[in-house]
Structures are given as C-alpha cells and as structure tokens.
Amino acid sequence: MITPSLPENEKQRQRAVERYVLLDSLPESSYDEITALASLITDAPISLITLLHSDRNFFKSHYGLPFNQSPRNISFCGHAIISDHPITIIEDARKDDRFHDNPLVLEQGAVFYAGVPLVDPQGYRLGTLCIFDTKPKTLDHKQIATLKVLANQVVRLFEERVANMKLEALKEELVLRNENLRKFANVISHDLKSPLANITSLIDLLEDDFKELASPQSLEYLQYLKSSSNSLRDYIDGLLIFYSNSELAESNKVSMKFEDYMEHIKNLCHINREKVTFNYSKNVGDIVVNKSALSQILMNLITNSIKYNDKEVTVIDVACTSNENDYIFEVKDNGPGIPADKKDVVFNLFSVIGEDKYKNKGTGIGLATVKKLVENLGGNIRISLPESGGCIFTFNLKRSDN
C-alpha cells in the first residue's frame, strides 16, 4: 500500500475545506440525492461525497456505507486530489501497487474506484465525488461526463451554503443593529422628554407672567420657542413610534365593524375641529385586522391630508374593499398632491418635502412608520396622483384567514 502524499498547498487547502463548515455536519437530502444518482447511473453499490481533512476522510454523504469517515492515510480520495487528471479511475485495486493490500480492499472488498475532485472557485481540491464497487469494471463516456457534472453540482451546493451563512450572519447583524437603534431611540427619547416638558412649562409660565409687560416682539420670541419645543416633541414621539409600535405583531387582530371604527378614527383625528368633509365606505361590514396598527396608519395619512391641504375645505375619502386574500384601503384627499419626483422618497425615514399649511416642517418619520407598519403586516403601500389633483394612498393588509 502506498500512503497518499499531501498537496504542496495542504494548509491552505484545509482552510478551504473548513470554510464550508461541513465537517461532522448531519446528512442533508440535497447531497444524498446526488450520491444516490451517482450510484444509479454507474451501477455502483457505493457512492460518497468526501472532504479530506488533516487525518481523516469525512463523508458528507455516504450511499451504501454505514459509516461516515475513514482514515486519510488509506483513502483512495487522497490519491485522487493529487492527481492531474479530472477523474481518477482504478478498475481493479487488487492489481494496483497503491491499493492491493489496503484495508479497504482486504476488509471492505473495495475493488473498483472512480473519483472526481471537488474543486472550489479558488482551485483547492476539497475532496471527491466517488463511487466504489466490489468487482472490476469500467465506465463509459456518458457515465464519466455525468459524474463530472454531479461533482460540479456538489461544489455549487458548497458555495450556496457559504452564501447562506453570510446572509444569516448579515441578518443577525441587522437584527442586532435595529434592536440597538430601538433601545437608543427609547433611551434618548426618555431622557429628552422630561427636560423638554420642563422647557414648555417654563415658556407657558413666562408667557402668563409677562404678557402684559413684554413687548409684542418678546411674546413672538416665546411663541417661536414654544413652536420649536412642540416640533422637537413630535420628532421624539415619532422616533418612539417608528422603533417600537411599528413592530406590532401581525397576530394581534380583532374583529370590528368598519363604520363604527371609522367614527372612532374620525374622533381620534379631531376632524370635527377642522373644516373637513370626511367620507368613508358604507356597508363594508366586519373586518378582522390589527386595530392598533391600522389606527396608526390611517391617523397618519388622514392628519397629513389635513395639515398639507391648501383648500378652504379639506375633503378626505377613505375606502375599504376586499378580495380573497387582502383588505384594500384607499385614502384620497383634494390637496395639492405630492411632486411626482418625490413619490419614491416620501416613505424614506427623515424625508421631508415641505412645510404644512401652518408653516411647520415635518419630521420625516410619519410616512416611514406607515410603510414599515404596512409591510410588517404583510402588505404594500403605493401613491397615485390623479390628474384632477390630490393624492391617493392605497395599501393592502392580509386577511385573517390567509
């Protein structure tokens, strides 16, 4: 028996094997199907996907054998990976000086062997796709070509595994970053809200104490301070909503009558205090949705329609229809609409496209929260700009039985 020599790049080759994190891994059907097919097309009772490590030959898939590894120093595959040939074929190992007294030949009856090296994109030979038989045989051109194709497929599976591991690591990193952002937003918001409330209270006290003595210009400065404080409060509240309430669970659904619910939304948005004509679909019946999430979505869209409207009377129409899979909601207004070139950015966090009718600049958080809520509930939201003017937000939410 001749022990297979080590490749000159053995250390780098072993690191290439370890890169796939496959050593000692459990069986997987995608690999077992390949060895089963290799056995079938060559009429060989044994087929293996092997990975050669420091002192062993690990079988990622072992068709026709009850064990999943063997010593490297007696492996046929050790010879195959140092060969210059694209496939190593031993028609009768009993007549080959390298194998005639090999324990695999004497004890396991391994007579025929054919192995195709598994070569990674960097050129390292990781192991083989190989077959064994207990009697001498040959392979025809089609069988050899098929083994080569199957070996390439094994390497593709290896590469897909690495890609999936990278995606999983990236996903975990993104989850951690998002959690850290949420915690940061909560901590910062909590630490800012208390002093901000004190500032607002002090401004009110100053205004009450000095409104008879202060000049109009000084009172105007106080109003500026109050307006800035209110804007900062809205910004903080928006961050809290975006990083916490926008993660409301999709399973928290309740059944409610749509008409009664819209009256509830009408009161929440204080529509009766504004010059607003508010219309909504009738005879919709009961809907089963996440009430808290839908409320935040509709309140945001409706209050935006009011704040950014340039007409003497704001008209808002809320429609609700459904199909087999979704509820479809539509919020339409008669305002100035959104510039066509801004349609794709209004849902981005901190994206602000102008002032409202009270000359206040938005936080750029509201519509980002709306989009996040809709997508967390399995839906999508889009904007359309009718030629007649105004703006239409359309979004869908999955029905409870889907």
pLDDT tens digit string along 1-38?
A: 799 889 889 999 999 999 999 999 999 999 999 999 99
Q: How far is the C-alpha of 281 from the C-alpha of 381, rounded, in Å?
A: 19
> pLDDT confidence of 225, banded at 50, 70, 90?
confident
Segment 162-169 mean pLDDT? 94
Tokens of 275: 């010059």
Q: Can you tell me the mean pLDDT for 43-62?
A: 95
pLDDT of residue 392: 95
What's the alpha-carbon Rg for the chain, to the nearest Å?
35
Q: Tokens for 203, please give them.
A: 């401004």
Tokens standing for 385? 């700009």
More confident residue, 168 or 362: 168
pLDDT computed for residue 398 by the predictor: 87
Q: What are 293-330's pLDDT values in tens digits? A: 888 899 889 989 998 898 989 999 999 999 988 999 99
pLDDT confidence of residue 183: 73
Bridge-based pairing of strands 88-90 and 112-119 is: antiparallel
**363 in Cβ contact with 238 (< 8 Å):** yes
The fraction of the chain above a pLDDT of 70, given in percent, is 88
**Residue 89 near residue 113, CB atoms below 8 Å:** yes
* Encoded amino acid at 398, one letter: K
Higher pLDDT, 109 or 225: 109
Reading the block at residue 263, the tokens are 């009256």
Q: The tokens of 303 are what?
A: 């209050």
Residue 82, both tokens: 């140092």
Q: Return the axis-axis angle of helices 141-210 and 216-243, rounded to nearest 10°.
A: 150
Distance (Å, whole) CA 143 – CA 132: 14
CA torsion through residues 105, 106, 108, 111, sign: positive
pLDDT at residue 331 above 50? yes
| CA torsion through residues 90, 92, 98, 104, sign | positive
Judged by DSSP in three states, 395 sits in strand
CA 92, 98, 100, 106 torsion-angle sign: negative
pLDDT given at position 110: 93
DSSP 346: T
pLDDT level of residue 254 (50, 70, 90 thresholds): confident
User: Side-chain half-sphere of 396: how many Cα atoms within 13 Å?
Assistant: 13
**What is the average per-residue pLDDT within 242-268?**
75
Please report the pLDDT score of residue 249 as a whole number.
Answer: 47
Q: Report whether 85 contacts 114 (CB < 8 A).
A: no
Check residue 231 and give its pLDDT. Answer: 58
268: confidence class by pLDDT, cuts 50, 70, 90: confident
Q: Which two tokens stand for residue 33?
A: 């199907």
Strands 56-63 and 69-71: antiparallel
Greater pLDDT, 286 or 293: 286
Q: For the chain, what percent of residues have pLDDT higher than 90?
A: 52
Q: Which domains does the chain have, with CATH numbers?
A: 10-166 (3.30.450.40), 250-402 (3.30.565.10)
Mean pLDDT value across the chain: 86
The residue type found at 132 is: F
Rounded CA-CA distance 400/251 in Å is 9
With beta carbons less than 8 A apart as the criterion, state whether 390 and 338 touch: no
| Each residue's pLDDT tens digit, 353-386 | 777 776 777 777 788 888 988 988 889 999 999 9
Separation of alpha carbons 347 and 144, rounded Å: 56
Q: Residue type at 107? A: E
CA distance 70 to 59: 8
pLDDT for position 234: 61
**Is residue 128 a contact partner of residue 105, using CB atoms and an 8 Å limit?**
no
Please report which confidence band the pLDDT of residue 116 belongs to, taking 50, 70 and 90 as the band edges.
Answer: very high
Confidence grade of residue 213 (pLDDT, cut at 50, 70, 90): confident
> Which is nearest to 277 in space by CA: 334, 234, 359?
334
Distance CA 229, CA 227 (A): 5
DSSP per-residue string spanning 160-212:
HHHHHHHHHHHHHHHHHHHHHHHHHHHHHHHHHHHHHHHHHHHHHHHHHHHTT
